[in-house]
Chains A and B, each alone.
Chain A
Amino acid sequence: MSRDPAAIYDAAPKERRKRSQNAKVVRPPQGLRLPRRVRRLQRQAPMYALQGINELSTRLRDLTGHEVIDMNRVMGLAQFAYRQQQLARRGPNYTVDEFGFDAEWTEALLPLFGVLYRDYWRIETTGIENVPATGRAMLVANHAGVLPWDGTMIKTAVFMAHPRPRHVRALVASLFMGMPMLSWFLRRTGQTVGHPDDTKRLLERDQLVLVFPEGVRGTGKHYEDRYKLRRFGRGGFISTAIRASAPIIPVSVVGAEEIYPMIGDLSGVAKLFGLPYFPVTPFWPWLGPLGLIPLPSKWRIQFHPAIHVEENPPDSADDQNLVMALSDQVRDTIQQGVYDNLKLRRGVFV
C-alpha cells in the first residue's frame, strides 16, 4: 500500500473507507488522567508563580523600603529553565560545526557562568572595545588557577560585556581532550585542540581564538609564584597569527591566581593518573569535593589594544628572531597589565 498521503485523498470514497478501516487508531495512553481544569492549571502554573513572586517583591519593597527580591534575577532564572526545556525538546535536530561546537547549547549554559562572572568573582572588565565586533583575532592571556576558570571567564566576558556578543574559541592542551566528560564538555562549548592547524582554520573562519601560551606551566604554578608569567613556549602562536593574518589582543587576568592557592604538588600521584600536576591547596584534597569550590577572589580582566602582527609579510612567520621579539612584546604587555590591575584592586577578596 502506498504511504503517500495524497494518494489517499485521490482514491474513491469506497476505497478510502476501506483504507480507513485498516488504519491503526492512535489513542492517547489510558491510565490516570487528571481533570481538564487541573491540567490547564498545570500548564499555567509557571505563569502564576511568576505573578505571585512579582506581587511578593512589590509588597516586600513597600514594607522594607528596599529591593528584597530582584525581579530581573527571577526572570533570568525562568528564562534559563525555559531554554533548558527547549534544548531537551530539540532531540537530534541540531547541528554542530566540524569542531563539535554547539552554539545553542553553550548560550543556554552561559547564564550560569554569568552568575559566577557578576556575583561570585565580581569581575571588572576594561578595554572590551579592543575586541573587534567582526573578523578574526587572537586573544592571548596569562594562565593561572589550577582549573581553567580564567578561560571560562574570558569567554563569558566577551559574550556578556561586548556590545556584539561573540563566542571565543579557546585552545586546550590535547591531554584534556582525551579525558572523559571533560573532552565532551570542552568540544561542545567550542574549545579545540591546541594544534597550529586548528588555530589557523578557526582564524580563517573569522573566529576569536583564545590562546594561553603558558599552558599547564601557568596553571600548575605555586602560590608564591603568582602573577609571574612563565615562558611563552617557542612563540608558535605568533607564527600562526602571522600566517593567518590575524591581530593579537593581549589579555591580562587578575584574580585567577587566588581561586585555588596551590601550596604543594604531589607529582607521584599526578604521574599515576597521567596528569601534569596534582595540586594541594588548603582545602584540596582534605575536604574532598568541597575543596573543588574556588575561592571568591576579586577579579579584573583587561583587554589591551591589538598588536598588529598581521602587518608582517606571511613568510616572516619562519623568522625566529622576529617571532621571539613579538612574543616578548605580547608577554610584556600582559605582564604590565597584570601589575597595573593588581594596583587597581583594593584587596584579594574585595
Chain B
Amino acid sequence: MSRIPVSALIGLVMTGAFFFTAIFAQWLAPYGLNEAVGDVWENPFWSSEPSQYLLGTDNIGRDLLSRMIYGCQITILLATASSAVAFLTGSILGFTAAVVGGWVDQALSRLVDLFMSLPSLILALVILSVLNVTLPVLILVMGLLDSTRVYRLARAVAVDIVVMDYVEAARLRGERTGWIIFREILPNALSPLVAELGLRFIFAVLFISTLSFLGLGVQPPLADWGGMVKENKDGLVYGISAALVPAIAIAVLAISVNLVADWILNRTTSLKGGRNG
C-alpha cells in the first residue's frame, strides 16, 4: 500500500468522488430530478452568456447539474449491483465447475458457451423488450449476461489452482467442496478476479448507458446518463452541448475506474502470494 502511482491516485480520487456523489445525491443536487426550473436548453457556465444554472438546463428546462447528480446515482447503482450479481454467480459457478469437474463442468461450460455465442447487447434487447423493465429486472439481466465472462475467467484460474498439491492435500484430508472453494482456491484467485471486477464494472456502465440510450434501459421518470444523452441529442444539431455532459461523465467514470483496475492488476501479478497480495 506504500507506493501508489500517480495515475492510480488520480483514478482513486475520481472514482471516490463519483461514488460520493452517487451516495449523497439527494443532498448534493440543488433542484429536484424532474423539476422544470427554467427555459429549454439554457446556457452552461462556459458559454459567452451563462445562465444561473451551472451546467444549463435540458430539453424541457430541468437543471442539468441536478439531473447529472441523480443520474450518477442510478448509473452507479445499476453498474455496482449488476457487477455484484455477475461476480457472485460467475465465480461460484466457475469454481464449482473446476472443482467438481466431469459432467457438471461440461454442462455449465457449454451453457455459457451458448450464451457467449450470442451478442450480449442483442440478447439483452430481446429479453428487455418482452419484460416489464424495472430496476431489479435490469440488474438481473445485465448481471447474468455478464456472469458468463466472469465464469470463464473464474474457471480458467481455478482449473490451474485445482491441480496444485495443496488442493490435493485438502482433498486427502477429507475437506468438503465448500472449504476447497472458499479457503483454498478463492484466496489465490482473488487478485485476477478483483482486477476483472474493475473492468466488468466499466463494461456495466457502458452497457447500461447503451441500453438507456436505445430506450430499453432505465425508464422515465428515473434517468441515467445514457438516457440523458438520448434526451438531449437533438440539441447537438443546434450547437447545444447538453448531450455531451453526460457522455463525458460516462467516459471519465470509465477511465478513472480503469486506472484503479490497472494498478491492482499490475500490483498483484508481480507477487507470488503471501503478504500484501
Q: Do A and B bind each other?
A: no
